[in-house]
Amino acid sequence: VIGRSYENQNLNRSKIMPKVSQISTALLRLRFSSSRRLSNGGFNFIARSYCTSDPPKTSGPLTSYNKLVEQGRLQHDPYQEKVALAFENLFGRLENFEKEMEDYHVRLAEWEKKREEERRRLMVEEAEKKEEDGMWASMNKHGQKLLGRWVLGRRQMNVEPGVGKWVSYLNRERKLDSIVGTRPVIPQAPKGLYIYGNVGCGKTM
């Protein structure tokens, strides 16, 4: 009985092993077939490709006009072509103007931030200077009039001329212009086009 059980187990193993080998062989065949299809350009979900080039630009008015002429839907007209070229230039100018405005706003924000930082620094220096001048003025009241007047006069020679908050503001703005620079200039906006002509010359088109 024991001998028969071993024989039955060996028989069952011999039956199972071919099935396992068949499955592994089938998987290998599927793998190689997948690799072949992949090499032939199939199975896009296995191979990944990334596009680094810029997307195609939208055709402008002149390109659209030339296509209509090539298709025979329009007859070539030199005046219409000239107008289409003017629109093409305006089309490109508008695209560049949008980029110029974005760059302008970035430069303007940086300029305003730096100018505000320098303005605060100058105001702190002015406050410290005014405090020192007040200290020298108090010394004059305590018996050192001659020395105080001489020192105060020397210090006033170095102070920018003018009195009042408005003059101080103007002097401060001049200093800021020399340190930070003037305000960025806004880009010039594109000019529009005025289309005119007789009836049926293609204005609406």
Cα→Cα distances 153→21, 61, 130, 150, Å: 107, 73, 14, 5
State residue 137's pLDDT score: 58
| 69 or 165, greater pLDDT | 69
| Mean pLDDT over the full length of the chain | 71
pLDDT average, residue stretch 57-73? 86
pLDDT, tens digit, 9 for 90 and up, residues 99-132: 999 999 999 999 999 999 988 888 888 888 877 7
If phi > 0 it is left, if psi is from -120 to 50 it is alpha, else beta; for residue 169 that is alpha
At 66, the pLDDT band (50, 70, 90 cuts) reads very high
At 195, the pLDDT band (50, 70, 90 cuts) reads confident
pLDDT, tens digit, 9 for 90 and up, residues 12-30: 444 444 444 454 444 444 4
pLDDT, tens digit, 9 for 90 and up, residues 122-161: 888 888 887 776 665 565 555 555 555 555 555 554 544 5
State residue 178's pLDDT score: 86
174 phi/psi in degrees, rounded to 5: -65, -40
What DSSP letter does each residue of 37-50 carry, written as one string? HHHTT--TTTS---
State residue 47's pLDDT score: 40
What's the CA gap between 67 and 117, in Å, rounded?
Answer: 56
Q: Are the C-beta atoms of 117 and 189 separated by less than 8 Å? A: no
Question: What does the domain layout of the chain look like in residue ranges?
Answer: 1-40, 79-180
Residue 28 has a CB neighbour count (10 Å cut-off) of: 10
